[in-house]
Structure 1
Amino acid sequence: MRKMWLDHTRVGLSVYDSNRQGYLTETELENYINDLLPGLCQLDGLEKSFHSFCTAVRKFLFFLDGARTNRIRILDILASTFLDDLLELRDEELSKEMQEQNWFSAPSALRIYGHYLNLDRNHNGMLSKTELASTLTKPFLDRVFQTCLTYGGEMDYKTYLDLVLALENRSEPQVLAFLFKILDIKECGYLDAFTLSYFFRAIQEQMKARSDQPVPFNDVKDELFDMVRPKDPEKNHLARFN
């Protein structure tokens, strides 16, 4: 039955592959998911104007388009569990707890979009550094805006979704690569003590502002290097984190 389902789904996805090369572009995947929505009863309560498909598509792109080409192999879509999670929303008796744990569900999509709207204090549909400053440290936020796609120095909803996916799935290899690029301020392919100290100083300042006892940087650095065990004792390469 699983093989039959995979074959049927592969054919269904291939219908949207306009170039017949085994890939779906972002727009083609949006069209596929948008056509699935009427059959997902757990999304019946959402307004049609709400881009739940945008929320869904970002997860596929973030985790399956590692090269950031804005297209995904159909075989990779089938090999992931994302379609299973999406189609789970056909279950009329899906519990509230299961819905809240499902990225594609209405409660999850509305939660994330609600946070975005709350942060957007000037209501222009974009997020500035100032609007995000309450959630992230300044050095990290500066790097996010340097490395991620922005428009006139502001972040749109799609980029915000990428950031949310990264912060909510920190142990995944794709997330580690995403965060490593942000932290690699010298763009040298590794993190050294100077780089770690640069970001950690802001965390120490936050702890002081909350009247917490700051953790000494050397303790954190030594623990991190002990866990990663880099070949070069002064450099942490991305491969050592995976």
Structure 2
Amino acid sequence: MDLFTKYYSEWKGGSKNTNEFYKTIPRFYYRLPAEDEVLLQKLREESRAVFLQRKSRELLDNEELQNLWFLLDKHQIPPMIGEEAMINYENFLKVGEKAGPKCKQFFTAKVFAKLLHTDSYGRISIMQFFNYVMRKVWLHQTRIGLSLYDVAGQGYLRESDLENYILELIPTLPQLDGLEKSFYSFYVCTAVRKFFFFLDPLRTGKIKIQDILACSFLDDLLELRDEELSKECQETNWFSAPSALRVYGQYLNLDKDHNGMLSKEELSRYGTATMTNVFLDRVFQECLTYDGEMDYKTYLDFVLALENRKEPAALQYMFKLLDIENKGYLNVFSLNYFFRAIQELMKIHGQDPVSFQDVKDEIFDMVKPKDPLKISLQDLINSNQGDTVTTILIDLNGFWTYENREALVANDNENSADLDDT
């Protein structure tokens, strides 16, 4: 404390005038210019552009990356592990000295230790290190690229900002070469919706650039640069042309009156057409509709929730629909409310209705909530059974599959055995 007081007094300068002392504190807050302060806004935009250009010049270009690879390869230390060239810490530092100032941040003891695993000679893989550098450079490049669309300059993108980014990205993605320009707006809407559905759970209308970089969606989108992307990868990639056309095609097929919107009756034919009317009523009560009909953007949220039921954002969407009393938890009443509709569908299809008491007990056994009488959203997420629980309550086909899961597994095993015999 004595030492602190001494240094503090010296820094303060022994000034008797407190106001004079406060004037030495550097300014740390700058008010954002108002909409009518055009000159200040232009100045801020220009300064941000200059800053981003400077940051971009600090990154390694292709030639510098190639030079780094040659230096690493030249300083490798035998023996190789399989086909992996290795380098020790001494040579690692030598490469750092020769690679230039832009590479300095990568050649630290901390980075080396991160990549050091079980090599008995205390070396790291040259390829792993180079991939680490490439990934870092890519992240910074992408961060700068996204920041150019950050109109507010606050580190987040609004829906319109992300739409502009993806629209201008389309011509650089060979896998989207076949898309008709008339479909671009629907493609952009489809792509943007996934970002906002999962990264903006509170529906604020904006996403942090850091969150975009941290998730895998951007990797999936930029995967479309690969001209030889397999058909299987395209089918599982939400951002691919086949996937976007599939989702939009389903929407058009459901829209029987061709008015560009979906009524509850039209949506009821989604998937296997076995979702209950009670659940569909809740969809139209809680989701944004126009004169009682659903637009494409709202439909995309619906599809993303149903196709990703294990994800917390999808479970949050489903939980809001199942929580009919808006209490923040599901109780026996709300479970019974939805399951009665399943029982009615079973009667209509000539099936013997299953006892709600049995289903209720199974659900609580699966979830194991903290409160034995209430299931919260967090309980659903923690249980890793949220997708099964929601399926049981909203979809007859899903419930039937769950009820007959053992017979279906046995049948699959028999079919596999028959194939092996042949």
In the alignment, the residues of structure 2 paired with residue 2 and residue 221 of structure 1 have an alpha-carbon distance, to the nearest angstrom, of 48
1:137 is displaced (CA, Å) by 1.3
2:255 maps to 120
Q: Alpha-carbon deviations, 1:108-143, whole Å to 9, x = none?
A: 111111110111011000001111123331111111
Structure 2 spans left out of the alignment, 5+ residues: 1-133, 382-422
1:238 is displaced (CA, Å) by 1.0
1:34 maps to 167
Residue pairs, 1:39-78, within 5 angstroms: 39-50=172-183, 51-78=186-213
Task: Specify the code of the residue in structure 1 equivalent to 2:149.
Answer: Y
Q: In terms of mean alpha carbon deviation, does 200-209 or 138-147 score higher?
A: 200-209
In the alignment, the residues of structure 2 paired with residue 185 and residue 56 of structure 1 have an alpha-carbon distance, to the nearest angstrom, of 31
TM-score under structure 2 length normalisation: 0.56
2:116 maps to none
1:218 is displaced (CA, Å) by 1.5
Tell me the matched-pair count.
Answer: 242
Q: In terms of mean alpha carbon deviation, does 89-98 or 74-83 score higher?
A: 89-98
Runs of 4+ in 1 over 3 A off after TM superposition: none
In the alignment, the residues of structure 2 paired with residue 189 and residue 36 of structure 1 have an alpha-carbon distance, to the nearest angstrom, of 40
1:206 is displaced (CA, Å) by 2.1
Residue pairs, 1:1-242, within 5 angstroms: 1-50=134-183, 51-134=186-269, 135=273, 136-242=275-381
In the alignment, the residues of structure 1 paired with residue 241 and residue 350 of structure 2 have an alpha-carbon distance, to the nearest angstrom, of 38
Q: In terms of mean alpha carbon deviation, does 36-45 or 207-216 score higher?
A: 207-216
TM-score under structure 1 length normalisation: 0.97
Task: Specify the code of the residue in structure 2 equivalent to 1:131.
Answer: E
In the alignment, the residues of structure 2 paired with residue 132 and residue 147 of structure 1 have an alpha-carbon distance, to the nearest angstrom, of 15
Q: Alpha-carbon deviations, 1:203-233, whole Å to 9, x = none?
A: 2222233333333212211111112122222
In the alignment, the residues of structure 2 paired with residue 204 and residue 180 of structure 1 have an alpha-carbon distance, to the nearest angstrom, of 21
2:75 maps to none
Larger Rg: 2
Task: Specify the code of the residue in structure 2 equivalent to 1:76.
Answer: D
- Does the residue aligned with 1:235 lie in a helix, a strand or coil? coil
Greater relative contact order (Cα < 8 A, sep 6+)? 1
1:49 is displaced (CA, Å) by 1.3
In the alignment, the residues of structure 1 paired with residue 223 and residue 349 of structure 2 have an alpha-carbon distance, to the nearest angstrom, of 42
Structure 1 spans left out of the alignment, 5+ residues: none
1:66 is displaced (CA, Å) by 1.1
